[in-house]
Amino acid sequence: MNKKLTYAGIAVLLLAVISGCGDKPTASPADAAGQDSSSVSSGAEGNAGNDSSANSTNAPQATSTTEPAATEAPAATEQPAAPEKQNQNIQIYYTDPQQTDLVAAEVSISFTDAKEKYTEAFKALQTSKNADQIPLWNKIELKSLEFTNGQIVLDIHKPDEAQLGAGGEALAISALSQTFFQFEEVKNIDVLVDGEQVESLMGHVDLVHPITRENNGL
């Protein structure tokens, strides 16, 4: 009986020893929580580092722009100065009140070129401030005047009221010729009526084309 109890006690003791050796220490909840939070923290820091690196890589880089250089405004071009007017005293030929002869008078004209000089001379033939100096061309309309290579070409219009008798027509042609031939550069004169060469200015005297110093008796 005592031997059985002894064997039973030994068996219980062996089981207790075996049980004690078989149990392993386990981590406490607090330690496990610490490890987990450490892992989570390390992972977060790693991700944060990766995000920062990614952001720095993907962020658009600021580029510097160069302002265009200011261009100078083009210099204003100077307008050519208008040619100065010249003044010249010339002889203009009129007739007396009875239309028997030519009467010369000195007048002053202003012009900038040859064409204007001859145009102003013709205008002077059309007007007079002296009652004893009758203009023979006052009712004739000057349509155009050209000067080329020593030739003056006048295109005129002659209304009916400008008609003169034979004596007046001859004096008119002579007055025109002597007025223009006082300019040495004028070699001949051609008078057109409404753009056409006519045989007679007013139907009494032949009108030559062109009029020269020789055929006009000058």
pLDDT one-digit tens code per residue, 108-134: 999 999 999 999 999 999 999 999 999
Whether 57 is in a domain gets the answer: no
Question: Model confidence at 42, in pLDDT bands (50, 70, 90)?
Answer: very low
Position 25 pLDDT exceeds 70: no
Lowest mean pLDDT among 8-12, 69-73, 184-188: 8-12
Q: Give domain status of residue 104, yes or no.
A: yes
**pLDDT greater at residue 21 or residue 158:** 158
Query: Is residue 141 included in any domain, yes or no?
Result: yes
Split at pLDDT 50, 70, 90, the class of 217 is confident
Domain membership flag for residue 67: no
Q: pLDDT, tens digit, for every residue of 164-185? A: 999 999 999 999 999 999 999 9
Instruction: List the domain range (segments joined by +) for residue 113.
Output: 86-212
Average pLDDT over residues 188-214: 96
Q: Establish if 53 belongs to a structural domain.
A: no
Q: Are 178 and 102 in contact (CB under 8 A)?
A: yes
Residue 71, in any domain of the structure: no
Domain count, the chain: 1
Per the prediction, the chain carries an average pLDDT of 80
| 48-52, 83-87, 131-135: range with lowest mean pLDDT | 48-52
Please check whether residue 192 lies inside any domain of the structure: yes
In a domain, 34, yes or no: no
